[in-house]
Amino acid sequence: MEPERGHYRFPVSYPRLEARQVLSGSHQYVVIVNHTAESVTAPTPFISRQECLIDDLTGQDAGRAEVTLGPFGVLVGRVSHQVYR
């Protein structure tokens, strides 16, 4: 490879799935990133049983128990205290 350009041949650890949370004003946001080329289903992070995660792009309920992200998928969601059915 080309070490002078930052390309090396050695394994680097990285998360398969990354989740971040931020509080902005009165809203709590969650970002979930799939770093793999495969679909991943995982438990929804940072929410309680009475809350749900609303997809900030579509306004749809993104799930309470688990979320599924496609290859290299990203979900930006807002935690809602309303119960959606």
Q: Which pTM value belongs to this model?
A: 0.74
82 pLDDT higher than 70? no
Cα separation, 84 vs 53, in Å, equals: 10
- Sequence spans of domains, the chain: 14-80
Q: Which CATH superfamily is domain 14-80 in?
A: Golgi alpha-mannosidase II (2.60.40.1180)
Cα 61 from Cα 52, distance rounded (Å): 7
Q: How far apart are CA 40 and CA 45, in angstroms?
A: 14
pLDDT tens-digit readout, 17-70: 999 999 988 888 999 999 999 999 988 888 877 788 888 888 888 777 888 899
pLDDT at 9 over 70: yes
